[in-house]
Amino acid sequence: MKIRDIMTPEPRTCTLEMALAAAAGLMWDTDCGILPVVEQGALVGVVTDRDICIALATRNARAATMKVGEVAGRTVWTCGPDEDLHAALAVMERHRVRRLPVVDAGGALVGVISINDLLLAAGPSAPVRNDEVVDTLKGICAHHLPAPKVAAA
């Protein structure tokens, strides 16, 4: 099965200049946890519900005045619509992400695939087995704690 068969097509997007409040509103209205960030038609980053929450919890700023560009991740892992679902599983696990923008050969955003999409497509007689999705989730969710700081003597 190909990514295009289960991805969410035509996802809502935001810009670097959009206020976090507006981005969060889009997420709420479309029941999603990620917005691809697009500038002049090009994918330049992603912002997640977690990015927004952590930014607002750790900075003394209002969601209406803080911009997506202040918190969006600029390193974006993607996949193509004609790739096999297993390619998405591998990228998600390797980079510990739950959602991937889907871009065509020209780099245009055509969809988003999430772990939810993969779970809904999994099953005993499906192209993706339940255990493959569970193993990917385990890899994504594994704790990777930073090394403890050692106090100077």
pLDDT tens digit string along 86-136?
898 899 889 989 999 999 998 899 999 998 888 888 777 777 777 777 777
Q: How far apart are CA 149 and CA 114, in angstroms?
A: 35
Residue span of the structural domain in which 128 resides? 3-140
Is residue 147 domain-resident?
A: no
Q: How far apart are CA 73 and CA 67, in angstroms?
A: 13
CATH assignment of the domain containing 86: 3.10.580.10
Is residue 128 domain-resident?
A: yes
- Which helix (H) or strand (E) is 96 found in, with range? none
- C-beta atoms surrounding 27 within 10 Å: 19
Is residue 101 domain-resident?
A: yes
pTM recorded for the entire structure: 0.82
Q: Which long-range contacts (CB under 8 A, 24 or more apart) does 92-95 make?
A: 92/136, 92/139, 92/140, 93/135, 93/136, 93/139, 93/140, 94/139
